[in-house]
Chains A and B, each alone.
Chain A
Amino acid sequence: MIPEYGDEVKVHTKEQVYEGTMLPRPEIFEENYTIIKLDNGYNIGIDNKRIEKIEVLRKYEKKKEEKHKLSHNKNLPTVSILSFGGTISSRVDYRTGGVYADYTAEDFVAMLPELENVANLKAEKVMGIMSEDMAADEWKIMANRVAKELNDNEVRGVVVTQGTDTLHYSTAAMSFFLKHLNRPVVFTAAQRSIDRGSSDAFMNLLCAVHAAAKFDGACVVTCMHGTSNDNYCILNRGTKVRKLNTSRRDAFRPINELPLAKVFENGKIEILNSNYNKKNNQKVIVDDKFESKTALLYVYPGMSPDVLDYYAEKKYKGIVIAATALGHVATMNQKYSLIKKFKELIENNVAVVIVSQTIYGRVHPYVYTNLRKLSIDLGCIFAEDMLSETAYVKLGWVLGHTTKIDEVKKMMLTNYAGEITERSDEHAFLY
């Protein structure tokens, strides 16, 4: 019998006999070891060169999972949970290495029993994808799927789960793609895997469902830990949020404005910034045209202007430049000046949008001569206090509608989804 993952086996080596369950090796590139889970629960790796024979004692039989049937409560609102992958909706079967395929409402309730008392849940796993692999095609699927839920009168709000890495790109995309938004679209995720008791997924998901069920806004928001404590989540506007730490649970911070609200585990919602559209009865329209020849470029000291030739050659329609501070790039230094290249690009109808690498703050087209060169002489578009990531998504969306530089500029500077903050709040920095 050929041993397979999950089987109970006896591994014979010259010196030793090991008995246990054969497990798949974690995803690393060497395969010279056989992994056995011993009866005491520990896994060990046995050097394949030492193995003389593997005897199968018992074949693995998959246990049938019994799912708890959910009841419908007339007094509770209905919330849809749409999963697009990520830590929060991925469970691995360690015995076989397989990933659980579905993530139904029952699965979420099994993970978080309180949910049953917050809302009637509908759930669907739309895709299982790592967030770094997501791009415009996935955003389009997402927008259509979310809109379908929002146009169902039964649904009070939508929760979207995905991986954290590019969560803020997705929220920006939904903010522009979903026109006439009527109810909250709440994105949530997990920084720590859900197979640990301390995972942030539990509170994040609970608060997200509360927000979808109760928040009075009609906007795309993130719902993640407000602090390192498990006490409340914050709702950040989808166009004004950024992941500022690789691993902390409070990594998602509002940029240049306050969070819209705090959401507590018990369902309490405390509004911090009421500058958002309120819940309404419009029909949501998906406007998901997106120009994929859009780029985001981070400039750095000593960057060769040649870099821009690539974009010109490949016929890009627009580039977001993450410039230094107020919006500078090299202009006086002959060797590194980008002026000539920008001029060429713009003359060829390529939009050049200036945002700042500093993350916080606003770019300014006029305070220095060099900035005036870029803005007045060349026609670079200074995108106010828009985040680089948001500006990238917005530019792709704008270019999906027009490639006329004047119109692109007009649209880039029109505030569609709160991406531009008119008043810079004193308390917003490092919130």
Chain B
Amino acid sequence: MQINYQDLGFKCGLEIHQQLEGKKLFCSCPTLNSDKEFDIKVERKLRAVAGETGDVDIAAEFEMLKRKRFLYESNSEDTCLVEYDEEPPHLMNNLALETTIKVALLLNSKIVDEIQVMRKTVVDGSNVSGFQRTALVAINGFIETSHGKVVIPTICLEEEAAQKLEEGTDFVRYKLDRLGIPLIEIATDSSIKDHEHAKETASHIGMVLRSVENVKRGLGTIRQDVNISIMEGARTEIKGFQDLRSIPKVIEYEVKRQLEAIKAGKKLSKEVRKAETDFTTSFLRPLPGAARLYPETDVLPVKVDKNHIEKLKKELPKLLSEKIEEFAKRYNISNDMAKELVNDENFEYLRQKFKGKDVWAIVRVLTNTPKEIKSKLKAEDFEEVLSYFYEGNISKEAIIDLLEKKLRGEKLEISEFKAISEEQLENEIKKIIKEKPNLNASAYMGLAMAKYRGKVDGKKVMELVKKFVK
């Protein structure tokens, strides 16, 4: 079945959540994902409380009906009394705020004059306090896409929720190391045109986020929620995408699910659904209502000074997309290779380490080393092997061989890879020809390379062989 998104009155918006590095948003705990054993365990209950307007939130009520006990566990190295809701929040983490402002500026947003921290009611236990602290930092941004502008009405800085470990009939167990990690929430308007456009938008925002320093990298540090609706259907928020690439398919399946339900005359309700690995979605909970936010009175509002914004504007990094173009041009490599370099943390590290040396060797090594090797090596491994090269101890051909040895955990015998002089090489080739006369040039080439692989430049060998063999 081919879906015509326009005809269906398809509306789609994204919420991107990105974790930040450094300290937590309202305390000085590190933002590690600790694998240490738990040394704190606390059991709590939550109740639905009236929100700012006096109404008890429907989503909150739904969770309360379940009457669960919440078991919280953590290691004291990455949690303190703030996560356990036993101590009021400390001052807002300024580095996290600056990072958020930078992201907002890169997304063409207007920073609000004064940031008010809010409490967003969350009664599933994922926040010990029963609410998530969140603050609207910027409004009215936009990005340019292949289908025109996508507006970014809001950019918030908020606390990450705790990670669920286990759910039983009457309890839920959470790990608290993640709770309180600064999280940027970027919301787009509902102008996304179709399933592929959703992926493009998510990917663009992801690229902008990765362009800024202090943003966490790696699995689980960025999450995309997709909100969709079609005529006669119901708004659905889909969470838990493993991969950007699954967005189009999940959207397609969800639209199909709603279409089938409409056709069967079923009434759809507003829901939060989970993206499954087979691209279908499953029910998580009803979509929360609007009475969800009230002021966090324990934190003072944060004034944003105009001069400070101007200062941050000057510190804005180049976008990764710009950097990729620049690298491709500068090193005369393909866009894909340039992208690889831009995304490779080793590149900046090695460039700094070997400042003033020919950067080409680094470019070559990083773009030529097979991915499976690269992913297992540390920056220091590259540094060690490259230093042998820059000191003239090995030829550039030996670099990858040595890295492979490093990966296998073998001891590096540098002498084995010592580059030999042209004179030596010439003599060796003469010797080979003398030992096995009447072969063709490529055969001699093969023999020489077998003997000196990794120590000599293949081109040079060919040149010398051709000198003696016509």
- Where the two chains meet, the residues of A that have a C-beta atom closer than 8 Å to any C-beta of B are 15-16, 23, 26, 28, 33, 35, 37-38, 40-47, 50, 63, 65, 91, 93-95, 192-199, 202-203, 228-231, 246-249
Cα–Cα distance between A193 and B119 once the two chains are bound (Å): 12
Cα–Cα distance between A202 and B119 once the two chains are bound (Å): 19
Q: Do A26 and B297 form a contact, CB below 8 Å, given A42-B154, A45-B116, A228-B84?
A: yes
Contact indicator B123/A197 (Cβ below 8 Å):
yes
Contact indicator A38/B136 (Cβ below 8 Å):
yes
Contact indicator B294/A94 (Cβ below 8 Å):
yes
Contact indicator B295/A94 (Cβ below 8 Å):
yes
Partner of A196, one of B49, B86, B113, B153: B49
Partner of B301, one of A45, A192, A193, A199: A45
Contact indicator B300/A45 (Cβ below 8 Å):
no
Q: Given the complex, which residues of B lie within 8 Å of A198, measured CB to CB? A: 44, 46, 85, 128-130
Task: Assess whether B52 is interfacial by the CB under 8 Å rule.
Answer: yes
Cα–Cα distance between A15 and B139 once the two chains are bound (Å): 12
Binary A-proximity of B148-190 (CB < 8 A = 1, otherwise 0): 0000011010000000000000000000000000000000000
Contact indicator A46/B113 (Cβ below 8 Å):
yes
Contact indicator A199/B49 (Cβ below 8 Å):
yes
Name the interface residues of B99-154: CB closer than 8 Å to any CB of A.
110, 112-116, 118-121, 123, 128-131, 134-136, 139-140, 153-154
Contact indicator A248/B42 (Cβ below 8 Å):
no
Contact indicator A41/B292 (Cβ below 8 Å):
yes
Contact indicator A41/B293 (Cβ below 8 Å):
yes
Partner of B114, one of A16, A47, A91: A47
Which residue on chain B has the smallest CB distance to residue A202?
Answer: B47
Contact indicator B53/A95 (Cβ below 8 Å):
yes
Cα–Cα distance between A229 and B290 once the two chains are bound (Å): 31
Distance of A223 from chain B, by nearest CB (Å): 17
Cα–Cα distance between A95 and B154 once the two chains are bound (Å): 23
Contact indicator B45/A230 (Cβ below 8 Å):
yes
Which residue on chain A has the smallest CB distance to residue B187?
Answer: A40
Task: Assess whether B81 is interfacial by the CB under 8 Å rule.
Answer: yes
Contact indicator B297/A44 (Cβ below 8 Å):
no
Contact indicator B114/A33 (Cβ below 8 Å):
yes
List the 3 shortest-distance A-B pairs measured between CB atoms, nearest first: A197-B130, A45-B114, A41-B293
Contact indicator B45/A42 (Cβ below 8 Å):
no
Task: Assess whether B54 is interfacial by the CB under 8 Å rule.
Answer: yes
Contact indicator A41/B88 (Cβ below 8 Å):
no
Which residue on chain B has the smallest CB distance to residue A192?
Answer: B85
Q: Do A203 and B113 form a contact, CB below 8 Å, given A26-B301, A42-B136, A95-B53?
A: no
Distance of B242 from chain A, by nearest CB (Å): 28
Cα–Cα distance between A37 and B294 once the two chains are bound (Å): 9
15 interchain pairs, CB-CB under 8 A: A15-B110, A33-B113, A41-B293, A45-B115, A63-B54, A65-B54, A95-B53, A197-B121, A197-B129, A198-B129, A199-B130, A229-B42, A230-B45, A231-B43, A248-B87
Q: Given the complex, which residues of A lie within 8 Å of B295, measured CB to CB? A: 23, 26, 43, 94
Cα–Cα distance between A247 and B87 once the two chains are bound (Å): 5
For chain A, what secondary structure do more than half of its interface residues adopt (helix, strand, loop), or is it mixed? loop
Interface size class of B (residues with CB under 8 A): 35 or more
- Where the two chains meet, the residues of B that have a C-beta atom closer than 8 Å to any C-beta of A are 42-50, 52-54, 60, 81, 84-88, 110, 112-116, 118-121, 123, 128-131, 134-136, 139-140, 153-154, 156, 290-295, 297, 300-301, 303
Q: A197-B60, A247-B88 are in contact. List 12 more A-B contacts (CB 8 A).
A: A16-B139, A23-B295, A37-B293, A40-B153, A43-B118, A44-B114, A50-B113, A192-B129, A197-B121, A197-B123, A229-B43, A248-B81
Contact indicator A16/B140 (Cβ below 8 Å):
yes
Q: Given the complex, which residues of A lie within 8 Å of B290, measured CB to CB? A: 41
Which residue on chain B has the smallest CB distance to residue A65?
Answer: B54
Which residue on chain B has the smallest CB distance to residue A91?
Answer: B50
Cα–Cα distance between A15 and B140 once the two chains are bound (Å): 11
Which residue on chain A has the smallest CB distance to residue B41?
Answer: A229
Distance of A22 from chain B, by nearest CB (Å): 13
Q: Given the complex, which residues of B lie within 8 Å of A42, measured CB to CB? A: 116, 118, 134-136, 154, 156, 293
Contact indicator B47/A35 (Cβ below 8 Å):
no
Contact indicator A43/B116 (Cβ below 8 Å):
yes
Distance of A232 from chain B, by nearest CB (Å): 11
Distance of B319 from chain A, by nearest CB (Å): 25
Q: Given the complex, which residues of B lie within 8 Å of A247, measured CB to CB? A: 81, 86-88
Which residue on chain B has the smallest CB distance to residue A50?
Answer: B113
Q: Given the complex, which residues of B lie within 8 Å of A26, measured CB to CB? A: 295, 297, 300-301
Q: Given the complex, which residues of B lie within 8 Å of A194, measured CB to CB? A: 49
Q: Given the complex, which residues of A lie within 8 Å of B136, measured CB to CB? A: 38, 40, 42-44
Contact indicator B46/A197 (Cβ below 8 Å):
yes
Contact indicator B44/A229 (Cβ below 8 Å):
yes
Q: Given the complex, which residues of B lie within 8 Å of A33, measured CB to CB? A: 113-114, 301, 303
Contact indicator B113/A228 (Cβ below 8 Å):
no
Cα–Cα distance between A196 and B154 once the two chains are bound (Å): 25
Q: Given the complex, which residues of A lie within 8 Å of B54, measured CB to CB? A: 63, 65, 93
Partner of A40, one of B44, B135, B154: B154
Q: Given the complex, which residues of A lie within 8 Å of B135, measured CB to CB? A: 42
Q: Given the complex, which residues of B lie within 8 Å of A43, measured CB to CB? A: 116, 118, 136, 293, 295
Cα–Cα distance between A152 and B361 once the two chains are bound (Å): 92
Cα–Cα distance between A280 and B429 once the two chains are bound (Å): 114
Which residue on chain A has the smallest CB distance to residue B84?
Answer: A228
Q: Do A95 and B115 form a contact, CB below 8 Å, given A198-B129, A228-B86?
A: no
Distance of B419 from chain A, by nearest CB (Å): 64
Which residue on chain B has the smallest CB distance to residue A46?
Answer: B113
Q: Do A95 and B52 form a contact, CB below 8 Å, given A44-B116, A228-B84?
A: yes
Distance of B404 from chain A, by nearest CB (Å): 53
Contact indicator B44/A44 (Cβ below 8 Å):
no
Q: Given the complex, which residues of A lie within 8 Å of B53, measured CB to CB? A: 95
Contact indicator A28/B118 (Cβ below 8 Å):
no
Q: Given the complex, which residues of A lie within 8 Å of B123, measured CB to CB? A: 197
Distance of A42 from chain B, by nearest CB (Å): 4
Contact indicator A197/B293 (Cβ below 8 Å):
no
Distance of B62 from chain A, by nearest CB (Å): 13
Contact indicator A44/B131 (Cβ below 8 Å):
no
Q: Given the complex, which residues of B lie within 8 Å of A228, measured CB to CB? A: 42, 84, 86
Which residue on chain B has the smallest CB distance to residue A203?
Answer: B45
Q: Given the complex, which residues of A lie within 8 Å of B87, measured CB to CB? A: 246-248
Distance of B447 from chain A, by nearest CB (Å): 74
Partner of A249, one of B49, B60, B86: B86
Cα–Cα distance between A252 and B365 once the two chains are bound (Å): 64
Which residue on chain A has the smallest CB distance to residue B114?
Answer: A45
* B60, B116, B293 pick with most chain A CB within 10 angstroms: B116
Partner of A28, one of B45, B88, B156, B301: B301
Cα–Cα distance between A195 and B294 once the two chains are bound (Å): 9
Cα–Cα distance between A311 and B387 once the two chains are bound (Å): 77
Q: Given the complex, which residues of A lie within 8 Å of B301, measured CB to CB? A: 26, 28, 33, 45
Cα–Cα distance between A5 and B393 once the two chains are bound (Å): 77
Contact indicator A45/B113 (Cβ below 8 Å):
yes
